[in-house]
Every structure is written in structure tokens, then in C-alpha cells.
């Protein structure tokens, strides 16, 4: 059975106390800008005027994609397991940034097209050795879609049960910008030309080819299901054009939200995972902190769809959770100012009144 989630939106009962505390810090009203918004959101999620994100965790989900056979990526599929090993050995961008900020990293194999050796940082939750080429057939079976989502649910529960109070998600999978663009087209109805971007560095001809493969794949899926893509439910979309790591991220987001735990959304692919999660349970959006606006073409459109203000805009297009971990110190700062900064009264400073 396709998973269901019951997500209670954060209570509004604490809003007044939070806003009063923020406004009474020794600063002009609104002077800390987006930090104030982050502090307010985290306080609401945790139902506390002293929110805490000191125990964060990064989870990177990895999988391969059959549509790579259509030449939609500059890099061969074997790069996926090679990069997974790079994560585990501490050599990737997300690895060094997690080490810098003392955030534990876990890498979860949900569909890498290789047999990976055991490693203390590796979660072995392989659904299959890659999804299928969705330009030719459905990406996965119903059972595989459920298993991928449940992998994310399990990983979120494992972290939260261990006391984690902020989850960050990343992904690895050659071809997954194509998969994400295809999912985005199906979910919000924009054209493939508008959703397809450079990914790992495609030239204009490569981007045009990617868009044509997305169009071909969606036409195939509509014929196979007998439904317009705008009528697909979450399960049909996942089966027809989903990716294992994207569904796993969505499952982790949904479970985090069900357990009233904030999570950080990385870049384009992670945002598409949230878009899918929102189709499953709309309240999941309330628990998302948006790390950055990436260089991938459609990410700006996606952030506007969420009405989201990302913390950073650094022209990143790496994925793997790199933007999320870079935003973490600022998320920490939002809590620090709320918890430790003096009020006008405690500091003996006259306020604007």
C-alpha cells in the first residue's frame, strides 16, 4: 500500500510570544532580516521560544537512473558509486563541509547500480540496481516506489530517535536532474523546455536533447496510464517517472514533518523531492527551511512556487546537500540570536519608544 502521512501543521499559539521576543532584542525592528524569519519558523515548529538545532544530521540518498541510456548526462553512470565512495571516505564537498561544522554524515544506497561494500557511514537500503529507462517503460513498480519512500521514513526515524533536531538532505545519482525536471513538469505543468537545465554542465544542444527525452517520456507515460499527467496521483507519478533517491528524500521529509522536526532543503533536486512530498501531504511544506537558490534553471521557478525565501544564493549547482550544509551556520545563528542576544530591558538599552 502506498504510504500515507498525518502531518499536523505547527501551532500558531506560540506566534505572539516568539514575535515579541524577536522584536525586543537590542536591534531595530526587523534588522536581522531573514534570520528573524528562520528563528520564528523554527520556534513555531519546535513550539518553543528557545529553538535548538545543535544536533543536526546530513543524509545523502544515492541511486542510479535508467534514462541515462538516452545520453542526458555528460557523466557515465559509474560515477554514482564512485562518488558514494568519495562521500564515505571524506573527500566530497558535502563530506568536508559536514566535517567543518561537526555535522554527522550518512549516505544511503537506495538504488546505486553497483554492489557497495559495508561502511559505518553507509545505509544499505537498495531497492534495485537503478530505476528503469522511463522513456521506454515505467521507472519502477508500485512495490519499488513504496520501498524507496519507506527507506527515507526509516532513516528519518533513526535520526530523530537518536535526538537529531534538524535534518538536512542531499542526493547523488547521475541523471537525476533529468528525472527531477521530468517530475517537476508532471507536478506543476510547466514545459519540459522550461524545466530542463544544464545539470552537470550540458551545452544548449544537450539541454534541448534532455527536454525532448522528458517530453517523450511523459507522452509514453500518459499513453501507458491512459491519464493526462495532470491527473496522476502521487503513486502513478512515482512509478512512471520517479527516482529512488528522490522518493527516499520525500519519504524522509514527510516523516520528519510528521514528527514535528524541521528539515533543510538543498537545491533543485531536493526541492523536487519536496514538491512530490507536498503532493502526498501538503503540510510538509511548513517544516522546510530552504538553503539556497541554485544555478539550475528551473530552481527559481520552483522556489517561487513554494513562495520560499532561500537563505543563500551562491550560484551553486553541485547537489549532494552542499548548499544545505553551507546554510547550517546561519540557521544556527538564527537560534543563537533568539536564545542569547540581550533584550532592551536586560541590557538597559532604551528602545525606539
CA dihedral 253, 246, 302, 9 (to 10 degrees): -20
Task: Report whether 60 contacts 87 (CB < 8 A).
Answer: yes
Tell me which residue of 338, 309, 282, 344 sits closest to 44, measured CA to CA.
338
CA dihedral 197, 281, 148, 307 (to 10 degrees): 20
Written as nine digits, the cell of 318 is: 553541485
Identify the burial level of 71 via C-beta atoms within 10 angstroms of its C-beta, where 0-12 means exposed, 13-18 middle and 19 or more buried.
exposed
Task: Report whether 189 contacts 230 (CB < 8 A).
Answer: yes
Written as nine digits, the cell of 19 is: 514575535
209 CB contacts (<8 Å, ≥6 apart)? Answer: 71, 72, 202
Catalytic residue among 36, 258, 281, 320: 320
Beta-bridged to residue 58, according to DSSP, are 105, 168
The span from the CA of 8 to the CA of 3, in Å, is 17
Identify the burial level of 85 via C-beta atoms within 10 angstroms of its C-beta, where 0-12 means exposed, 13-18 middle and 19 or more buried.
middle
| Catalytic residue check, 320 | yes
Q: Which residues are catalytic?
A: 320
Amino acid at each position: 500500500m502506498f504510504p500515507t502521512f498525518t502531518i499536523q501543521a505547527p501551532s500558531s499559539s506560540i506566534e505572539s510570544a516568539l514575535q515579541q521576543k524577536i522584536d525586543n532584542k537590542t536591534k531595530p525592528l526587523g534588522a536581522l532580516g531573514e534570520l528573524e524569519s528562520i528563528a520564528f519558523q523554527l520556534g513555531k515548529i519546535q513550539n518553543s521560544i528557545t529553538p535548538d538545532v545543535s544536533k543536526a544530521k546530513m543524509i545523502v540518498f544515492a541511486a542510479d537512473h535508467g534514462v541515462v541510456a538516452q545520453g542526458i548526462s555528460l557523466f557515465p553512470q559509474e560515477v554514482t558509486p564512485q562518488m558514494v565512495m568519495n562521500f564515505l571516505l571524506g573527500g566530497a564537498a558535502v563530506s568536508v563541509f559536514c566535517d567543518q561544522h561537526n555535522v554527522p554524515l550518512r549516505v544511503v544506497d537506495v538504488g546505486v547500480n553497483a554492489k557497495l561494500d559495508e561502511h559505518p557511514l553507509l545505509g544499505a537500503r537498495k531497492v534495485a540496481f537503478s530505476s528503469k529507462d522511463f522513456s521506454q517503460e515505467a521507472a519502477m513498480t508500485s512495490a519499488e516506489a513504496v520501498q524507496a519512500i519507506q527507506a527515507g521514513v526509516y532513516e528519518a526515524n533513526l535520526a530523530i530517535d537518536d535526538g537529531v533536531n534538524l535534518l538536512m538532505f542531499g542526493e547523488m545519482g547521475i541523471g537525476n536532474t533529468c528525472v527531477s525536471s521530468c517530475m517537476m513538469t508532471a507536478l506543476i505543468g510547466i514545459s519540459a523546455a522550461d524545466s530542463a537545465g544544464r545539470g552537470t554542465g550540458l551545452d544548449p544542444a544537450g539541454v534541448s536533447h534532455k527536454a525532448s527525452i522528458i517530453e517523450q517520456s511523459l507522452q509514453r507515460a500518459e499513453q501507458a496510464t491512459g491519464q493526462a499527467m495532470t491527473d496522476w496521483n502521487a503513486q502513478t507519478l512515482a512509478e512512471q517517472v520517479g527516482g529512488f533517491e528522490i522518493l527516499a528524500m520525500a519519504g524522509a521529509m514527510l516523516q520528519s514533518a510528521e514528527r514535528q522536526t524541521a528539515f533543510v532543503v538543498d537545491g533543485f533536486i531536493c526541492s523536487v523531492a519536496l514538491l512530490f512530498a507536498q503532493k502526498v501531504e501538503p503540510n510538509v511544506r511548513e517544516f522546510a527551511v530552504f538553503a539556497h537558490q541554485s544555478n539550475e534553471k528551473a530552481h527559481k521557478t520552483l522556489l517561487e512556487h513554494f513562495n520560499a525565501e532561500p537563505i543563500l544564493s551562491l550560484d551553486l549547482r553541485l547537489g549532494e546537500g552542499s548548499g544545505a550544509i553551507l546554510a547550517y551556520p546561519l540557521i544556527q545563528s538564527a537560534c543563537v540570536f533568539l536564545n542569547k542576544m540581550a533584550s532592551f530591558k536586560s541590557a538597559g538599552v532604551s528602545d525606539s519608544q
